């Protein structure tokens, strides 16, 4: 399925958002008229498509690498029993000596 105008706008925004003045979340609301959470949901789905990869291969590959890296770090934290707040599931961590 070809990219919609909104899909192209999301990819274009993501590739150029550093050029905008102010926080990214504010620019998302102002330029795309989306809540930031919704923007990231749509972008996450979009980077999985072949059409997005064809439209902007460097951006999509970079976003996929970032996503995969964050996922790997999250899995490692869960495997180690670390909660997002930094505490552990089993109590304080003791370093092995």
Query: What is this structure's pTM?
Result: 0.71
The answer to whether position 66 is within a domain reads yes
Query: In the prediction, which pLDDT does 70 show?
Result: 83
How far apart CA 82 and CA 90 sit, in angstroms, is: 9
For residues 95 and 97, give the distance between their C-alpha atoms in angstroms, rounded to a whole number.
6
Q: What is the pLDDT of residues 63-79, one digit of tens each?
A: 999 998 886 667 767 77
What's the pLDDT tens digit per position in 37-59?
999 999 999 999 999 999 999 99
Domain presence at residue 34: yes
Q: Please state, in angstroms and rounded to a whole number, the distance separating the CA atoms of residues 2 and 58.
A: 18
In a domain, 55, yes or no: yes
Number of domains in the chain: 1
Q: Which domain holds residue 60?
A: 5-80
């Amino acid at each position: 399925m070809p990219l919609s105008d909104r899909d192209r706008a999301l990819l274009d925004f993501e590739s150029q958002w550093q050029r905008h003045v102010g926080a990214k979340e504010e620019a998302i609301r102002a330029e795309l008229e989306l809540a930031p959470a919704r923007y990231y949901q749509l972008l996450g789905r979009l980077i999985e498509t072949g059409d997005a990869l064809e439209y902007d291969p460097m951006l999509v590959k970079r976003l996929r690498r970032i996503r995969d890296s964050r996922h790997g770090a999250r899995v490692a934290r869960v495997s180690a029993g670390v909660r997002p707040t930094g505490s552990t599931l089993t109590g304080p961590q003791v370093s092995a000596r």
